[in-house]
Amino acid sequence: MIHTQPCIWVHAVWSTRERRPFIEPAVEKAIYQYLASQLEEAGCMVRIVNGMEDHVHCLFRQNPMLSVSDTIKRVKSTSSNWINHQRMLPEKFGWQKGYAVYSVGSSGLEWIQHYIMEQKVHHRHKTYREEMAHFMRMHGMDDEVLV
């Protein structure tokens, strides 16, 4: 008998609208938990969600019945609606259009999970733009497309 057993690990990153520092310390934990819950509702197993005031990183196993773009579109949409409905922030919240997605092999899971966990440490020395350029080069992509 043939069984289908996909294991597609994804590291997704996206920023707040205009990269504004919306995700304040008082609300970040609730936002990250909500993002994780929405990924789980989409059938994705979540390892970690964390970030900074202007962007988030998510490490999850993609549901093979959905496309990555559909998963992220759903998570971004439901989470921005939830944040605004909860009135968590003094002004209207939104995510910036687009996202970055990188595949993660099983041997890289621990490293990327630790990297995501240590976001605040990394960003003492590296800007969001520098971080994204690093990941793009690491995955053989042209970092000239960064906006």
Cβ atoms of residues 117 and 32 within 8 Å: no
**Could you report the per-residue pLDDT of 69-108, keeping only the tens digit for each?**
999 999 999 999 999 999 999 899 999 999 999 999 999 9
Cα 26 from chain centroid? 19
Sheet strands (E) in the chain: 9-15, 45-52, 55-61, 100-104
In order of their start, the domains of the chain are 9-145 (3.30.70.1290)
Cα 38 to Cα 63, 65, 118, distances in angstroms: 12, 16, 22
What single-letter amino acid sits at 129?
R
pTM: 0.88
User: Burial letters for 60-92: b for 16+ Cβ neighbours within 10 Å, e otherwise?
Assistant: bbbbeeeebeebbeebbebbbebbeeeebeeee
Q: What is the per-residue pLDDT across 13-53, written as a single tens digit (0 to 9) for each? A: 999 999 999 999 999 999 999 999 999 999 999 999 999 99
Residue 2: what pLDDT?
Answer: 63
DSSP 8-state assignment for residue 97: S
Residues 6+ apart with CB under 8 A from 3: none
- Residue among 140, 6, 14, 16 nearest 88 (CA): 16
